Amino acid sequence: MKRITIKDIAREMGLHHSTVSRALRSRSEINQATREKVLKYAALKGYQVNRNALQLRGSGSNIIGVIVPNIHHSFFSNFVSIITRLAFEAGYIVAVFQSEESVEQEKEILKSIIQQNIAGVIASISMETTDTSHFQQLDHYKIPMVGFDRISSSLKTSTVELDNLSTLRNVVTTLHSRGYTKIAYLSGNPSIHLYQERQKGYFGGLKAIGTSYQKCLQLTDKFTIEQGYHATEKLMEAPEKPDALIFDSHILACGGLQYLKKQGDRLLENTGIATFGGHPWLSISAANILFIQQPEDQIAKATFDLLMENIVHPTQVKTTALKFQATLI
């Protein structure tokens, strides 16, 4: 069967081929009724975009690049899944890149994205990233970007994130309301904006509850179960032990729970636990666990919508910063 082309659709519908092309790309200058008729007819005839022809004409790609630090983290894997669905519905496909918390790998990813002329980028920076000049290259090549979760104030892009300061403050006060007074926090690299804000929230929460106990471990390497285990061990072997632990990742929490369980059920039962990334099976290990649930659907949709605005209306780009609230479960 002969592959149907834009010119075929234009001839059969009595439209100019440029009108059909714009309608198939959902361009705003084509009225909605015409767009819907063209899209319906193209779907009926089994039209498929010829990406090679588009690239030869210099048209934009239909590929969106999503850069995450660690796809094994539940937040990032769920985020990618939601973005992939939204992109498919809008006629785009997603290329997922994992920096594995390496700034050098992140730089190579950006080179690849620029070489492939990807339509736009959604990115969360690695734990090692302090200099963001490699991301700034995207602007030179007119590739729009929206930052999410781990963002940098040095990048003049739209961003979507959790209200991290108020979230950690709420976690501390909630644990205190449950009877815990010596609350320790296993956090990330303070050079990353996200962890700066969370640590401010932690200390703000301690001030609010009027406790003198302060213990924030800043873990600058990639989060691992082993790291969570040894960090918890360090805290519990100190002269003044915490009675509650906040983990910045369920990966760290897994290690922490392993250590507590190894010491006996009594310690595990008497220690309050709060963690980002709520895997239901964690509640089997600790009945008194507090899950910090990020609104993943809202964050992903807001991020995608901002990128689409930048792609469709490149001359009307506005830098927008959105924050969402977490739910404590």
Q: In which order are the strands placed within the sheet that holds 158-162?
A: 93-98, 63-68, 120-123, 145-148, 158-162, 321-324
pLDDT digits (tens, 9 = 90+) for 70-95: 988 889 999 999 999 999 988 899 99
Query: Do 6-55 and 63-161+296-322 fold alike per CATH?
Result: no
Supply the CATH classification number for the domain 6-55. Answer: 1.10.260.40
Mean pLDDT of the chain: 89
Name the residue with higher pLDDT: 68 or 266: 68
- Angle at 318 (CA atoms; ends 313, 324), nearest 5 degrees: 115
Fold of domain 164-293 = Rossmann fold (3.40.50)
Domain locations along the chain: 6-55, 63-161+296-322, 164-293
Name the residue with higher pLDDT: 315 or 1: 315
pLDDT digits (tens, 9 = 90+) for 22-70: 888 766 678 888 988 988 888 888 776 655 444 444 445 789 999 999 9
Please give the Cα distance from 140 to 133 (Å, whole number). Answer: 11
Task: Find the range with the poorest average confidence among 155-169, 172-186, 217-231, 303-317.
Answer: 303-317
pLDDT score of 281 more than 80: no
Task: Find the range with the poorest average confidence among 153-157, 311-315, 323-327.
Answer: 311-315
Q: What is the pTM of this model?
A: 0.80
* pLDDT score for 54: 45
Assign 279 a pLDDT band (cuts: 50, 70, 90): low
Burial tier of 217 (Cβ tally within 10 Å: 0-12, 13-18, 19+): middle
What architecture (CATH level 2) is domain 63-161+296-322? 3-Layer(aba) Sandwich (3.40)
User: Encoding tokens for residue 183?
Assistant: 């609350």
